[in-house]
Structure 1
Amino acid sequence: MAARAPSLPPDVGPNRVRSDQWHLATLNSGEANEISQGEGVTVAVPDTGVYPHPDLRANLLRGVDLTNEGGSNDGQSDRNSHGTGMAGLIAAHGQEGSRGARGIAPKAKVLPIISSTADNQSSPDNLGRAIDYAVSSGAGVISISSAGGSSPALRRAIRGAILANVVVVAAAGNRPADTEVGYPASEDGVLAVGGIDKSGTHAAVSVSGPEIDVVAPAVDIYSTSIDGKYRKGTGTSDATAIVAGAAALIRSKYPYLPAREVAHRLTATAVDKGPPGRDDEYGYGVIDLVAALTADVPPLGFESVSAPAGAGRTTTAGAQPDDESDSATARGLATLGVLVAAGVGWAVMARRRRRGDDPPPRISR
């Protein structure tokens, strides 16, 4: 499908953008940040790079450029704006006086990895290299705002990250270009993210499927952009970055919690939407930042979870089919045996990967 040229939103500057970030109020991020701000957690962003925006640069680490396009060797450049937008949704710290964009985890660190070209294209193998770099660099969360084809190298990298106790969050994909949940969101052990709109209902752009774990805001999402500007994006890319920020909050508050339990907190406390229980549009529901940080959530394998009223459904034995009752996610996080067994027999899909933004974002001047 031919890309449509981005249009420009009304002029948005640091004095206004915070009020335009409707997802912050919807997710009650202010209250969540009184509990955790993501301190001590590094979130890797394999994408188009991250421009050192004033609202973000204090949380930006030195990364790497894997594309050989002559950009910044430390990952701190972006000729597209996609990666900068995702990083801002995760960890923008804003400016004094509540000015500028703010991320879900405003004290987390962002590891920028340029794995996509300036035209927002990436190969599965290149993404696999980015995942390996993130793991070797000590990232606790990897935010993958793309969906598409796979390769043996990418599958090995994703499974290696899961075995290394990294929370891997990935976009489900966007209609009409995508018709099913793409890779790596479709991989067991990866937290697959769909989207909702401003009314809290399923976003038309968001792909549905049995792999969906949770959903987050995905329509008209304001964040940081290149050259100190701001962008407004729509797609499961944005929802994925928001969920990655939520994972950083949990990892910061509970630093010894295994990655699979971090994902379990997000699914077990999600606000149920659609038909009762997990469904293909909403997964387990809309993430609830405060509940994920405060609810009494027994470890995986226990029969119930106690969450504050309105924080989401209670998981009980019998509430799901027998093959799902020991996990708060639709697919669970795979056991080592499943991970090893799944490593053979996969067909290689060579098509290019798509970012989880469709249509392209609008960038303010």
Structure 2
Amino acid sequence: MELGNKIGNFLAAVALVTASVYPAAPALADQTRNDQWHLRYLNLAQAHQVTKAAGVAVAVTDSGVFPHRDLTKNLKKGTDTSSGGDGNGSGQTDQVGHGTNMAGLIAGHGHNVNDGALGVAPSAAIIPIKVTGARDNGLGLAAGIEWATTAGVDVINISATAAPSRPLSAAVTAAARADIVIVAGTGNESENIRLAYPAALPEVLAVGAIDRNGKIADFSVTGAKVGICAPGMDIVTTGLGNNYDRVDGTSAATAIVSGAAALVRAKFPDLSAAEVIHRLTATADDNGPPGRDDQCGYGVLNVVKALTAEVPPLEGGTAVTASAQPSVVAPSVGSSADPETEAEESNLPVIAGVAGGIAVLGVLLAFLARRRRRPTA
């Protein structure tokens, strides 16, 4: 009964940031990567020539993270604060699947060279923090953020919501003061005139969702606090039991932006958390009325520009959504790529010249191995 209540509480919390989760269609070899349209939309192949975020730690405060084969190289020991902050457990269990979905979007490394799910920051470390996320108090989420702060992570991904509370506000403030980038979804109730917590807090980068045509998702909550948008519809990612899911919601967009923040932290290690957020918003592509708007804030995430453009420093203060953004000098990707030597770094090579018989056998085996199932939700 206790486990059922915890799962029920978490599902209520993620309802505002996850519009739907459904199994990806059965796929042949390499189809999972092909189905991840956001990789091409964001031009991540070019971004990964600059950095893949080796050495950066991202906390995923969620339902826990299943050790999916596309995550195991990056998945580290975390904790479980779902009982109110006792710090027990590793965070590497997930009865819901939501946390596993988000972790794959942030730091999936795939398998067999270019099969499986690839994340935005495929060399970043994932620190799983299992929280209740209950909207009635948010104590588990607050405790998880506190634990992440003490652990010294670089980015905290919050693809969940909670009711406003002093413990949650205090935890977010402490994390920001510890120079941690905090990213959260705006929520999925488009008729709601108020952003979800903790995205509404001033220290947090609030993320909305767009579809593959660059249009704001119907479910994405809008408002003056929105900072940026990212793909958040029909997104393929890791699921429970080494399966794959398609997800919709600002939670997915949030995880993608958290991955981008990890890349920026790797490329520019001396930037403060406020400057990292500033770089992400200053280089975003304006996709609505000229200038900032309430739908996508400063625009749609542009990962390559965030890593390569010349961005004037943030002037005075650490506000996440300043009233004006500085001009951005056109980017140029050259020989300034960060040296990264981990074996998992080569996730997007071009494969050619596979013998016909081996290819047919691989297709058959992949088809039998990749049966998708709906996560327990």
Question: What secondary structure does 2:93 align onto?
Answer: coil
Question: What secondary structure does 1:59 align onto?
Answer: coil
Residues 6, 107 of structure 1: alpha-carbon distance in 2 compared, 3 angstrom cutoff? closer
Tell me the TM-score normalized by structure 2.
0.77
Deviation at 1:172, TM superposition (A): 0.3
Alignment partner of 1:249 out of 263, 271, 276: 263
Deviation at 1:148, TM superposition (A): 3.7
Question: What secondary structure does 1:247 align onto?
Answer: helix
Map 1:79-158 to 2 at 5 A: 79-116=95-132, 123-158=137-172
Which residue is 1:283 aligned to? 297
Residues 7, 44 of structure 1: alpha-carbon distance in 2 compared, 3 angstrom cutoff? closer
Determine the C-alpha separation between the residues in 2 that align with 1:138 and 1:277: 35
Deviation at 1:9, TM superposition (A): 3.9
Which residue is 1:74 aligned to? 90
Alignment partner of 2:62 out of 38, 47, 66: 47
Q: Is 1:296 aligned with 2:307?
A: no
Determine the C-alpha separation between the residues in 2 that align with 1:12 and 1:149: 39
Determine the C-alpha separation between the residues in 1 that align with 2:123 and 2:22: 32
Residues 5, 87 of structure 1: alpha-carbon distance in 2 compared, 3 angstrom cutoff? closer
Which residue is 2:79 aligned to? 64
Which residue is 1:206 aligned to? 220
Deviation at 1:16, TM superposition (A): 1.4
Q: Give deviations 1:108-154, integer Å, cap 9, x for gaps.
A: 0000000027xx87841111100000011111000000124121101
Which residue is 1:341 aligned to? none
**Higher mean displacement: 269-278 or 14-23:** 14-23
Residues 60, 32 of structure 1: alpha-carbon distance in 2 compared, 3 angstrom cutoff? same
Q: Is 1:163 aligned with 2:177?
A: yes
Which residue is 1:184 aligned to? 198
Determine the C-alpha separation between the residues in 2 that align with 1:126 and 1:100: 32
Which residue is 2:374 aligned to? 363
Question: What secondary structure does 1:174 align onto?
Answer: coil
Percent identity between the aligned chains? 44
Residues 50, 237 of structure 1: alpha-carbon distance in 2 compared, 3 angstrom cutoff? same
Residues 288, 6 of structure 1: alpha-carbon distance in 2 compared, 3 angstrom cutoff? closer
Q: Is 1:308 aligned with 2:330?
A: yes
The residue type equivalent to 1:308 in the other structure is: A
Determine the C-alpha separation between the residues in 2 that align with 1:247 and 1:228: 26
* Aligned residue pairs, count: 314
Deviation at 1:65, TM superposition (A): 1.3
The residue type equivalent to 1:51 in the other structure is: F
Determine the C-alpha separation between the residues in 1 that align with 2:374 and 2:302: 29
Determine the C-alpha separation between the residues in 2 that align with 1:5 and 1:193: 17
Q: Give deviations 1:265-287, integer Å, cap 9, x for gaps.
A: 00000000110000000100001
Determine the C-alpha separation between the residues in 2 that align with 1:55 and 1:277: 38
**1:298 touches 1:305 (CA, 8 Å); kept in 2?**
yes
Question: What secondary structure does 2:226 align onto?
Answer: coil
**2:135 touches 2:162 (CA, 8 Å); kept in 1?**
no
Which residue is 2:346 aligned to? none
Question: What secondary structure does 2:310 align onto?
Answer: coil
**2:50 touches 2:307 (CA, 8 Å); kept in 1?**
yes
Which residue is 1:227 aligned to? 241
Q: Give deviations 1:24-62, integer Å, cap 9, x for gaps.
A: 100001100110101110000010000000001110010
5+ residue gaps in structure 1?
311-360
Which residue is 1:35 aligned to? 50
**2:58 touches 2:157 (CA, 8 Å); kept in 1?**
yes
Determine the C-alpha separation between the residues in 2 that align with 1:67 and 1:153: 15
Tell me the TM-score normalized by structure 1.
0.80
